[in-house]
Chains A and B, each alone.
Chain A
Amino acid sequence: MEYGPPPLFNQGVSARARLAFFSLVAAALIIIDAQVNALDAIRNGVEILLFPVQRVLLWPRDLAVDVGDYLTTLGSLNEENARLRLLAVEQAKLAQQATQLQLENDQLRKLAGVRERVNVPAQMVVALYESRDAFSRKIVIDRGKKDGMRAGYPVIDEAGVVGQVTRVFPLTAEVTLLTDKEQSLPVQIARNGLRAVAFGGQEPETLELRFLPANADIENGDSVVTSGLDGIYPPGMPVAAVLHVDRDVKDQFARIVLKPVAGMSRSRILLVLLADPPPLVPAAEGARAGPSGNLRGDRAPAKAARR
């Protein structure tokens, strides 16, 4: 029979030593994760374990939404129906014109010798939940690596650009919204073709155009669309409308706040454009490359552009 020391004195490793050990490990993990992507394997493993639990926990909310939908009154349904009918008629006209315009455009492009725009395949996804985080604007969608998602794919909804797939798990993927402070995309003003870069704004649910001179030709209500210069977002997709322009004399740059047109955190059904990001540019040419969004798995262009 062996007896250990009495439990009164057997306290194990001291609390301070444990604190030091675990904090150091946590700090090391934070630094590794912030600098390189070496931990993605562990992250993917944990995500697979958590996935069924997360899905089950979404049921109460989905049930509440379903019950709410079921209890929608006849009146509001009729109203919505009428509105949708009007919309369908309006869009039918546009659709018929679109075929004609497409033909005309193809001909003109051929005449001008411009490469034809590729039709991007798309995948419909459902937003599962928003990450509960005061700092970032991210949502998790129900398709992952298994369904061909890749970091860098643009995400849109029925009104405009929503964001970009930034991290891919085996069964789910994380979309960083445009309103995230770390996110950026190249845009142009639809009215005059002025090119700029839109960043996530200081205020929640806004974007801002940085580095535009104080006398830039921008007015309230101007519509902002993607310029397609990064090769990730197709050109001409609606992004935002100018909310207000602050031309402060003491600043070199105008402060331009935009309101995104897409539903951002509100829309549940989204479309991921399966447009592969362009191949990485060599570092020497990197200085000319435009900002290409915040790609976690793909940091080289951003770093090169900063140089």
Chain B
Amino acid sequence: MRSLWQRLGGERLEAVSASLRPPTVGRSVRPEQVLRPVRPAFIWATLGSAFLLNLLPWGHAIWVPDFFALTLVFWNVHQPRKVGMGVAFVFGLLMDVHNGALFGEHALAYTLLSYGAISLHRRIQWFPAGSQSIYVMGLLLVAQLASAAVRLWVGGASPYWWLGLLSSALGAAMWPLLTALLLSPQRRPAKRDDTRPL
């Protein structure tokens, strides 16, 4: 009797574990890699260099993506506890001074961007990088529209402001590349010997 019960329970457990096993038919499932912890210095270095990229004299090439916004979204999605809205706000103010924009315009846009990224970060991470970029494009567009709305309110907008939306699309297209680049230090194997064939 007892052995029969055990056998039934064992079978059930096996069935349950079989249902939990990742499906092997059809699309192959990516193995999930456990990432190493990120170094704060790396976060600040990438944020700083993205900001410097924005400071380059791009002039009227308004299709150039906003590198800082993109990097900000990346760290908001992957490390929301380390990079938050305060960082976005402060860098936004710096950007305003550089661009000669109204004080607070970029700060508002980056704050909204950061909030969106932080509230979506659990959802976004489930998707592969290609699909993530659609979310990212939405976030970047919202930030740009916020900035355009401020301009319209002040009255300084040109009828060609929508050309700038191109930069959001380009930024989103760069997302998979950025993900690969910025996650690479965390994807390193724990021991250096693991990469060596011998």
Contact indicator A26/B118 (Cβ below 8 Å): no
Residues of B within 8 A of A29 (CB): 93, 102-104, 107
Residue A138 at the chain B interface, CB threshold 8 Å: yes
Tally A-B pairs: CB < 8 A: 131
- Stretch of A126-134, A152-160, A297-305 at the chain-chain interface: A126-134
- Stretch of A15-23, A143-151, A235-243, A284-292 at the chain-chain interface: A15-23
Interface centre among B92, B115, B161 (most CB of A within 10 A): B115
Residues of A within 8 A of B131 (CB): none
Residues of A within 8 A of B84 (CB): 18
Residue A140 at the chain B interface, CB threshold 8 Å: yes
**Which residues 108-147 of B sit at the A interface, judged by CB distance below 8 A?**
108, 111-112, 115, 118-119
**Which residues 1-46 of A sit at the B interface, judged by CB distance below 8 A?**
15-16, 18-19, 22-23, 25-30, 32-34, 39, 42-43, 46
Contact indicator B103/A23 (Cβ below 8 Å): no
Determine the distance from Cα of A53 to Cα of B111 in the docked complex, in whole angstroms.
24
Residue B30 at the chain A interface, CB threshold 8 Å: no
Residues of B within 8 A of A135 (CB): 148, 151, 156-158, 161
Known: A15-B118, A47-B97. Contact between A26 and B107, CB under 8 A? yes
Q: Which of these, A16, A26, A46, contacts B104 with CB under 8 Å?
A: A26
- Chain B nearest CB from A112 CB (Å) reads 44
> Which size bracket describes the interface of B in this complex?
35 or more
- Stretch of A55-63, A80-88, A93-101 at the chain-chain interface: A55-63
Contact indicator A134/B104 (Cβ below 8 Å): no
Residues of B within 8 A of A167 (CB): 100
- Chain A nearest CB from B155 CB (Å) reads 8
Known: A18-B84, A54-B55. Contact between A265 and B60, CB under 8 A? yes
Residues of A within 8 A of B103 (CB): 29-30, 32-33, 39, 42-43
Query: B115 — nearest CB in chain A belongs to which residue?
Result: A19
Q: Given known contacts A30-B104, A132-B60, what 12 new A-B pairs fall within 8 Å (CB)? A: A15-B119, A16-B115, A19-B115, A23-B108, A30-B108, A43-B97, A46-B93, A53-B55, A131-B101, A132-B99, A133-B99, A136-B100
Residue A181 at the chain B interface, CB threshold 8 Å: yes
Residue B160 at the chain A interface, CB threshold 8 Å: yes
Residue B58 at the chain A interface, CB threshold 8 Å: yes
Residue A50 at the chain B interface, CB threshold 8 Å: yes
Residues of B within 8 A of A181 (CB): 156-158
Annotate B78-92 by CB proximity to A: 1 below 8 A, 0 otherwise.
000000111011001
Residue A174 at the chain B interface, CB threshold 8 Å: yes
Contact indicator B57/A61 (Cβ below 8 Å): yes
> Which size bracket describes the interface of A in this complex?
35 or more
Determine the distance from Cα of A58 to Cα of B94 in the docked complex, in whole angstroms.
17
Residue B21 at the chain A interface, CB threshold 8 Å: no
Determine the distance from Cα of A140 to Cα of B105 in the docked complex, in whole angstroms.
19
Contact indicator A54/B98 (Cβ below 8 Å): yes
Contact indicator B104/A28 (Cβ below 8 Å): yes
A selection of 8 A-B contacts at a CB cut-off of 8 Å is: A16-B115, A22-B85, A22-B111, A23-B111, A30-B108, A61-B56, A129-B59, A133-B99
Residues of A within 8 A of B54 (CB): 132
Contact indicator A57/B55 (Cβ below 8 Å): yes
Residue A91 at the chain B interface, CB threshold 8 Å: no
Residue A204 at the chain B interface, CB threshold 8 Å: yes
Known: A30-B105, A57-B56. Contact between A22 and B156, CB under 8 A? no
Determine the distance from Cα of A42 to Cα of B107 in the docked complex, in whole angstroms.
15
Residue A202 at the chain B interface, CB threshold 8 Å: yes
- Chain A nearest CB from B130 CB (Å) reads 27
- Chain A nearest CB from B171 CB (Å) reads 14
Known: A18-B115, A19-B111, A26-B92. Contact between A265 and B160, CB under 8 A? no
Determine the distance from Cα of A29 to Cα of B154 in the docked complex, in whole angstroms.
13
**Which residues 134-190 of B sit at the A interface, judged by CB distance below 8 A?**
148, 150-151, 154-161, 163-164
Query: A182 — nearest CB in chain B belongs to which residue?
Result: B156
Contact indicator A46/B97 (Cβ below 8 Å): yes
